[in-house]
Each structure stands twice: as structure tokens, then as C-alpha cells.
């Protein structure tokens, strides 16, 4: 595709997502260096075109066509948001478009429920629940947003990924979990309680996915609640780093943590996991590739299913992750672990 003249609007979700992924792969090339703001504006226009097409289709009563167009718009707006990271106003504008379009998709056939989950202290966490189409007892995943995103924004990013997955999701905002008067793992256990009693959820196949700093929250839930059947998390590396930093501060030296001591801590931590784990390493996240690789080497002799995933990062002007390919990787892994007979 010729990115110099500009990307084309394609009224097909798979093609739109391939176009976005291809754009990100090629973005570091010299002929793509027109600046983030220009490309953010172009992808916003593409999203607007899909969004308007969805509106036109809904007015004609063509709900399937409307949903497909809006899902294309969500991918385009997400890419525009990431390209506009350095421009707060443009980033906020793209986020607002994502949330507005996500609500349109949610209004179709009442596919998405706004669900208040009650915590142990009787407070409530407002979540989104999206049920898997065509399944009476589907696996489910608790998805926790980054510290920078709302639950609605994360829902907008995930809706195109979840098409035909056969997985239900409960989307939660990082802020709501981390600010809960209950401990975050207890608040997330309440989310797990809610899913476990739903008639359309298979209580034996509930996973958790934490994005950004929420990867550490996903780890806490996986370690504290044995009902978790699969976890996309940080593998405990955030808590390990904090523990070592505290030890060094108390000792007043940076030399207190010898590698053999750290290795022993990693080994003990790994042995606590009782479910399959996908550790997400990222240059922008809380887990570095070297630390994740060390964790993986410690997991090799242990009886644990632990894998490592790292998104491709485009470093032209600033770091932008290929979220399209990476999200497909994450939910393909979750589908494989929670739906063993899946072709993913």
C-alpha cells in the first residue's frame, strides 16, 4: 500500500486491521516521515469515514454492516490516538471518538452490558461485559485497562479483536481497581465472583489480562485466586523489582542484591503460579525484555506453562507499539488456553 499518497478506506475489518499493521511496520521508512500529527489526522479521517458509513447503514436498518464499519473506525481511531501521543488535545479528541463509537457498537442488539460489580466492602466497580456470540457457556477474561485509559477506551480497542473469538470479556478500569478500598486482588476476585455465577460463563475457564501497569494487578489475582485459568501479566517482576529496590534502600547500597539471591526469588515466584502465564515484555511497559527472558529461563525446568510475548516497536520519532498484531497475539493465546479445541 502506498503510504506516501495516503491509506485507503477499506470497508472490511480484516483488511482495515492489516492496513493498520502494515502502516505501523512501514512507519520508520524515510518516505513515511511526514510527522505523527499529519498521520494522526489522516487516520482520524479514515475513522470518521467508517463512522459515518456505520451511521448511514444503521439508518437503513443494516445493523451488521453498521457494526463492521464501526469496528473499522475503532481500529483507525486507536491508531490515530497512538500517533497523537505528544499532542494532548488531539489524543483526547481521538479518545473521545473511540468512546463514542464503542457506545454505538454496544447499543446494537444489547451485546454489551454496563455491569456494576459489588465489592466485599459493598462499594461498586462499574464494568463492561461483552458476551461471546453463539455460546451458552463461554470462557471469559477480566481485562484491566492501563493506568492512562478508561474502561470504555479499552473496550473500544478490544471490540475488533474479539470478533468470532468465542470469549466473553469483563472490562475494568485500572483506576477503579487500584482506588478500591478493598485490595486490588480482592476487588478483582469480586469480578471473578460475578463471572462465576453468570449462566453464560464457564466458571472453570476464566482468565485475566492486565495492560500496562495493570499487568502487576493481573499477577496478584492469578497468585491469590486459584480459580484463574490463564493470566496475561508481568509474571511478578514488578513486585520483585520493588522488593529489591526496598532492600537496597534499607541496606544503603546497590550491591546488596546478588544475582544468586535474585535468581532464587525468581524461582520461588514462578513456582507459585498454578495456571498458564503469558508475560508481556515491552519497552514502554513495566517488564523489560532482559528481565522477562531471565524469568523464562527459570521457568524452563519448572512444571509451569509460561510464555513470553513482546510487541514490535516502531522507534521513528517516538516508540509506538504495533497494537494490532500484539492484541491478536494476546487473545489468540487466551483463546488457545481457554478453548483448547480452538484453531488459534
- pLDDT for 67-109, tens place per residue? 999 999 999 999 999 998 778 899 999 999 999 999 999 888 6
User: Is residue 201 predicted with pLDDT exceeding 70?
Assistant: yes
Closest CA relative to residue 46, chosen from 102, 7, 4, 87 = 7
Mean pLDDT of 2-19: 72
SS3 333: helix
> Which pLDDT value is given to residue 169?
97
Alpha-carbon torsion (91, 92, 93, 97), positive or negative: positive
User: Is residue 45 predicted with pLDDT exceeding 90?
Assistant: yes
> Which pLDDT value is given to residue 32?
46
Torsion, Cα 61 62 66 68, to 10 degrees, reads 160
User: Is residue 48 predicted with pLDDT exceeding 90?
Assistant: yes
Closest CA relative to residue 210, chosen from 171, 257, 168 = 171
Q: How confident is the model at residue 342 (pLDDT cuts 50, 70, 90)?
A: low
Torsion, Cα 132 133 136 142, to 10 degrees, reads 10
* Whole-number Å distance between alpha carbons of 218 and 239: 12
Q: How confident is the model at residue 3 (pLDDT cuts 50, 70, 90)?
A: very low
Q: Yes or no: say if 128 and 112 are a contact pair by the CB < 8 Å rule.
A: yes
Q: Which DSSP helix (H) or strand (E) runs through 321?
A: strand 320-321
> Which pLDDT value is given to residue 257?
52
Give the position of cell 508481556: 280
Closest CA relative to residue 175, chosen from 166, 186, 184 = 184
Mean pLDDT of 310-323: 66
**Residue 56: what are its φ and ψ, rounded to 5°?**
-65, -40
For residue 263, the tally of other CB atoms under 10 A from its CB is: 13
Q: Yes or no: say if 224 and 272 are a contact pair by the CB < 8 Å rule.
A: no
Segments in 84-121 forming alpha helices (H): 88-106
Q: Yes or no: say if 50 and 58 are a contact pair by the CB < 8 Å rule.
A: no
Range from 51-65, 127-141, 206-220, 246-260 carrying the lowest mean pLDDT: 246-260
* Whole-number Å distance between alpha carbons of 78 and 91: 10
Query: What's the pTM value of the predicted model, to 2 decimals?
Result: 0.87
Element counts in the chain: helices (H) and strands (E): 12, 10
CATH of domain 111-338: 3.40.50.1820
* End-to-end Cα, the chain, rounded Å: 27
* Whole-number Å distance between alpha carbons of 47 and 49: 5
Mean pLDDT of 245-264: 56
DSSP per-residue letters across 11-46: S-HHHHHHHHHHHHHHTTSGGG-S-HHHHHHHHHHH
Query: What are the CA-CA distances from residue 88 to residues 37, 42, 91 (Å)?
Result: 11, 17, 5
Q: Give the mean pLDDT of the chain.
A: 83
86 CB-side CA count, 13 A: 10
- Percent of the chain as helix, strand, coil, to the nearest 5: 50, 15, 35
Domain ranges of the chain: 13-108, 111-338
Length of the chain: 344
Q: Work out the widest C-alpha separation in the chain, in whole angstroms.
A: 70
DSSP per-residue letters across 272-319: T--S-EEEE--SSSSS-HHHHHHHHHHHTTTT--EEEE---EE-SSS-
Amino acid at each position: 500500500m502506498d503510504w506516501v499518497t495516503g491509506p485507503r478506506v477499506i470497508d472490511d475489518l480484516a483488511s482495515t486491521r492489516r492496513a493498520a499493521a502494515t502502516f505501523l511496520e512501514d512507519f520508520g521508512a524515510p518516505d513515511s516521515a511526514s510527522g505523527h500529527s499529519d498521520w494522526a489526522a489522516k487516520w482520524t479521517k479514515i475513522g470518521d469515514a467508517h463512522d459515518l458509513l456505520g451511521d448511514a447503514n444503521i439508518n437503513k436498518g443494516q445493523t451488521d454492516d453498521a457494526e463492521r464499519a464501526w469496528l473499522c473506525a475503532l481500529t483507525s481511531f486507536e491508531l490515530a490516538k497512538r500517533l497523537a501521543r505528544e499532542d494532548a488535545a488531539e489524543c483526547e479528541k481521538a479518545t473521545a471518538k473511540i468512546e463514542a463509537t464503542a457506545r454505538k457498537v454496544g447499543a446494537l442488539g444489547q451485546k454489551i452490558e454496563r455491569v456494576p460489580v459489588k465489592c466485599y466492602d459493598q462499594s461498586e466497580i462499574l464494568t463492561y461485559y461483552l458476551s461471546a456470540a453463539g455460546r451458552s457457556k463461554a470462557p471469559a477474561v477480566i481485562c484491566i485497562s492501563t493506568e492512562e485509559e478508561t474502561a470504555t477506551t479499552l473496550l473500544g480497542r478490544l471490540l475488533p479483536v474479539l470478533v468470532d473469538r468465542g470469549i466473553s470479556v469483563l472490562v475494568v478500569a485500572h483506576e477503579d481497581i487500584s482506588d478500591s478500598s478493598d485490595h486490588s486482588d480482592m476487588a478483582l476476585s469480586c469480578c471473578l465472583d460475578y463471572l462465576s455465577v453468570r449462566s453464560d460463563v464457564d466458571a472453570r475457564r476464566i482468565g485475566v489480562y492486565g495492560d500496562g501497569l495493570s499487568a502487576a494487578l493481573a499477577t496478584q489475582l492469578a497468585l491469590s485466586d486459584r480459580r484463574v485459568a490463564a493470566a496475561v501479566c508481568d509474571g511478578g517482576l514488578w513486585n520483585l523489582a520493588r522488593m529489591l529496590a526496598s532492600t537496597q534502600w534499607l541496606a544503603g547500597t546497590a550491591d546488596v542484591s546478588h544475582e544468586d539471591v535474585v535468581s532464587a526469588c525468581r524461582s520461588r515466584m514462578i513456582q507459585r503460579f498454578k495456571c498458564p502465564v503469558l508475560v508481556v515484555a515491552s519497552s514502554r511497559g513495566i517488564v523489560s525484555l532482559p528481565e522477562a527472558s531471565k524469568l523464562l529461563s527459570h521457568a524452563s525446568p519448572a512444571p509451569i506453562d509460561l510464555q513470553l510475548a513482546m510487541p514490535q516497536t516502531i522507534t521513528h520519532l517516538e516508540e509506538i507499539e504495533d497494537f494490532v498484531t500484539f492484541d491478536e497475539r494476546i487473545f489468540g493465546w487466551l483463546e488457545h488456553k481457554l478453548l483448547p479445541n480452538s484453531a488459534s
